[in-house]
Chains A and B, each alone.
Chain A
Amino acid sequence: MTSYLISGGVMSGDQQVDILIANGVVAGVGSAIDATAATRAVKVDAKGCRVLPGFVDLHTHLREPGLEESETVASGSRAAAKGGYTAVSAMANTFPVADTAGVVEQVYRLGKSAGLCDVFPIGAITQGLQGSALAELGAMADSEAKVRMFSDDGNCVSDSVVMRRALEYVKKFNGIIAQHAQDPYLTKDSQMNEGAVSARLGLKGWPSVAEESIIARDVLLAQHVGSRLHVCHVTTAGGVEIIRWAKSRGVNVTAEVTPHHLLLNDERASSYDPIYKVNPPLRTQEDVLALRAGLADGTIDVVATDHAPHPAENKECEWQAASFGMIGLETAFSIVYETMVKSGLLSWDQLADRMSIAPARIAGYESHGQKIAKGAIANITVVDPNRAWKVDRDLVASKSRNTPFHAMKFSGSVIATFFNGAPTVLDTKLVGASHDN
């Protein structure tokens, strides 16, 4: 197996340090690197770059099985690698739904055979995502895929009793319930954030209270039954406030925010271009700032992409007819760097925490989010904060092109990704994988 020497990058602080990768693990760091071994290694120039633990996404729609025209596990894995990810969490809303051991094992194996990152399936909470009867959570946990995180994402588990039972049941195997917080009654036919912009555009409003009321109920339930709750894609200032309050009371709750909610606000809908149509919707600038502050102070634990590929025809239409969702794996780092690090809200160590260490800890992905030290499995991402690029939807690795960031310029890039010691991306380009979609 080829060994690699990542040379001249910075891991923490401002100390340049070399990292030797051999046999899938970190073989040495800095002065402890064996000089002979280093000369035999393929050198990866990381001058001016940051070397981080490989990114971990807790919220990824890979669309396989069932919706392979949008994305496959393989194409989604390529997108993930390009975005610096070494692990993704495949959401359960596939066809069939990932609500049995059979489906989650299928997704898990597809991830293995793609071989570009770990694909950890998320199991459905309820059968068919219908929100009533619990899926076989235990069987999924015991399966080869070892599912620990469960979500009906796309749908909210709105029934309080079902939510309570799910939270209680997963305590058996230290599982976690990831809730898509959306009151279905307050958001029937809703199209965008409810406020001044929706009033002007005549698009049905999606009140922030529809999200906040569910978060409030769920943190109280989690506290009541002593279980773990993860709040998917928080989008409102009020939601951040409730989670902050819950954490202060000792509730075992974690939360995620998406890159698009950190960057874009609801004014985008003025174009009526459904590329900006997403669930939950883009909110106001005040919400965007509250989300950034929440991610900075740790109220929000992780950045998750909610990468949601859709075929062109689902977006090349009028707003109401379009699908919700946007792709995000390949742009996540650049956006988090732009909005959080460049602005001084997050340090590099904190970025590593929010994009790798914390998500790996929450979901229990043991070979990810580890300190880069001798003997650790080499899941590593190299980013260059000064390598500017312009997003081009025609050049994405994802099978779908529904990025709202097309033609935007970002100042930081993912340069290289190492998955289990093997490079999946070098010099910003995918390696080792076939490129046909």
Chain B
Amino acid sequence: MSVALPAVDISRALIRISHEIIEKNSGSDSIVLMGIPTRGAFLAQRLAQKISTIEGHQIPVGTLDITLHRDDLRMNPIRPLVPSLSPTGGIDGRDVILVDDVLFSGRTIRAALDALGDLGRPRSVQLAVLMDRGHRELPIRADYVGKNLPTSRSQVVKVHLTEIDGIDEVVLESEEVK
């Protein structure tokens, strides 16, 4: 196990992403952040707070549980649903920024795009992730990346956040430990 990203780097990455989001969208008037549970939701909250501080007004933030849209449901034990939180003002005509912790095969994001489509019709959808570890199985890329981390398939990337794990850090484990 090795620490791929310590707390200070996580914080720095989120600040950078916040600025990139504002820059790319020429401000923050039209943006809505949608976090993918569990850890993506907390990252979205953090980003929304940072952007709000910079911009001086509240950024709408929501959560998007993609469980019901997953394509691997039958391969795993049943997952309890996470309550979804709709952002104030909805997503129609907005620039939605999906937020997740790790980008890997891209299947979660595919499911998230489907789930988003059920909620409404955004003007654009962008993707922010804390870690991009490669091995994409679908034509999906992130617009904002905290850190690119080359990994092997058998390795496991674990994002820990103070909100639920008591600590901020990203660790790389060589194999899943059971």
Do chains A and B make direct contact within the complex (CB under 8 angstroms)? no
